[in-house]
Amino acid sequence: MRDAEVCVVGAGPHALTVVSHLLTARPSLKDGIVVVDPSGQWLRTWREQFGRLEIGVLRSPMVHHPDVWPGSLARFTSDHALKRSHLPYDPPLTSVFDSFCSALVDQLDLDSMLCAASVGEIQTERHGCRVTTSSGSFQARQVVWAGNTAHPIVPEPFSKPFGTASIQHSSTIDLRNIPTLDGEHIVVVGGGLTAGHLVLGALKRSARVTLVTRRPIVERNFDVEPGWLGPRFLEGFECQRNPERRLQMVLSARGGGSMPGWMCQRLESEIDAGRLAHVVGSIESGDFSDTGPLELCVSGQPLEADRCWLATGTRPHFCADAALAAHVNRQVDGIPVLRQDLRLGRRSMYLTGRLAAIELGPAAGNLWGARVAALRITHALTGFDLRDDALEEPRSRIRLGQKGRHK
């Protein structure tokens, strides 16, 4: 394998955003970037996740995407007469966002930097890192970790082995492989947007559905309040230098699951039509044997189900990947403490995504966080300032691009 100036671990939206920004700042890096991902494809895991749960529209607004110029996705959509969601804050349709990212990959010729492999070890050396993968090893001056490093959250009483395939976490459910649920009762546990998608998927397959949430559904257009995407809340966050308190601010801001207004309206209409039941409470116990239906106890009341789907989220933790875990010396509840430029201590390693939450705030894992992380990392590696107020529209390379490839 060839040596690299920059090794990017992962090929999802965060990785694509970092690479796009790096090449805007310094086009000469084109042949010096290696992107390592087991799939060997851009956004493969993202496409699988959205496909499995039949997610037709993003939650982020149109201005949050991997390209540098904020208006390029809206311009791309308009230039090619693509459909819009017509929802508040104009979130793009999944198909449009996919085409846009494919156009970006094509125009920057980013497939040429992909390496289909998994990272086994990263050794820090005097002038960079030695990256060992399943396809060989190479030297990289800098490493950007953009991989998905998280564990599924499986609440009690489901955390114990239950010996039945009728209980699944949302991370393993593929609605595309379930042609019908006619005659079945599906219990969906969770109060976030993923739970909403699973409810709609089960109803579409003629199931009888009960949604169980710990509290009344919280309506919110984004994962966090918009104030966390600008100085309104971030100024106070950045003034707080204690990482433990910062993480508490992050957890408080995210505050558990929520759903945008359009999903709340969809669920309310299904409840009014008698196709969906909503129970506020906690599942305290249950009979999870292989024979017969599942017998659940929700806040003291019995609930029988054929399947139970857990839309209870994932928890980021650096230990989810051994190659990264070896380099984290300071952390709070699994979240590394980073420098302001997202560097991991004195190492030649930078982090983006949910693991950067102590530095970036509660929206670190969203597309907004991908853009902010890319700006900081690009400035650290190239010295260029690509902030929106320093960037003009002509910088966008895909404003007049093709619709892109569907993969």
CATH number, position 172: 3.50.50.60
How many other β-carbons are positioned within 10 Å of the β-carbon of residue 347? Answer: 16
* CA atoms of 281 and 299, how far apart (whole Å): 5
- Residues 127, 262: one domain? no
- Residues 41, 187: one domain? no
Say if 401 falls within a structural domain: no
- Residues 348, 364: one domain? yes
pLDDT value of position 336: 97
pLDDT value of position 93: 98
Query: Per the structure, how many domains does the chain have?
Result: 2
User: Does residue 157 have a cis peptide bond before it, meaning omega lies within 30 degrees of 0?
Assistant: yes
pLDDT over 90 at 377, yes or no: yes
Say if 407 falls within a structural domain: no
Q: Which domain holds residue 343?
A: 4-149+317-395
Say if 248 falls within a structural domain: no
Q: Choose the final residue of a domain: 313, 329, 356.
A: 313
How far apart, in Å, are the Cα atoms of 39 and each of 115, 116, 272, 274?
9, 6, 43, 42
Q: Choose the final residue of a domain: 264, 291, 313.
A: 313
- Residues 201, 76: one domain? no
Say if 178 falls within a structural domain: yes
Beta strands in 153-213 (DSSP E): 167-169, 185-189, 208-213
Query: Residue 344 corresponds to which tokens in the numbers above?
Result: 């991991």
- Residues 204, 123: one domain? no
- Residues 355, 288: one domain? no
pLDDT value of position 155: 87
Q: Choose the final residue of a domain: 288, 313, 338.
A: 313
- Residues 283, 299: one domain? yes
pLDDT value of position 358: 98
DSSP letters spanning 104-130: HHHHHTGGGGEEE--EEEEEEETTEEE
Q: For residue 333, what are the contacts with CB-CB under 8 A and spacing of at least 6?
A: 247
Query: Residue 164 corresponds to which tokens in the numbers above?
Result: 């039945």
Say if 384 falls within a structural domain: yes
- Residues 390, 328: one domain? yes
The phi, psi pair for 100, rounded to 5°, reads -60, -45
Beta partners for residue 304, in sequence order: 295
- Residues 290, 351: one domain? no
For range 213-242, the mean pLDDT: 95
- Residues 160, 114: one domain? no
pLDDT band at 346 (very low <50, low <70, confident <90, very high): confident
Inter-helix orientation angle 13-25/94-108, to 10°? 40
Q: How many angstroms from the chain centroid is the CA of residue 185?
A: 29
Say if 40 falls within a structural domain: yes
- Residues 263, 322: one domain? no
Question: What pLDDT digit, counting tens, does each position of 133-179 carry?
Answer: 999 999 999 999 999 899 999 988 887 665 567 999 999 999 999 99
Question: What pLDDT digit, counting tens, does each position of 41-75 carry?
Answer: 999 999 999 999 999 999 999 999 999 999 999 99
Say if 232 falls within a structural domain: no
For range 76-92, the mean pLDDT: 95
pLDDT over 80 at 130, yes or no: yes
* CA atoms of 6 and 381, how far apart (whole Å): 9
pLDDT value of position 161: 63
- Residues 101, 188: one domain? no
Say if 365 falls within a structural domain: yes
Cβ 219 vs Cβ 261: under 8 Å: yes
Question: What pLDDT digit, counting tens, does each position of 11-49 carry?
Answer: 999 999 999 999 999 999 999 999 999 999 999 999 999
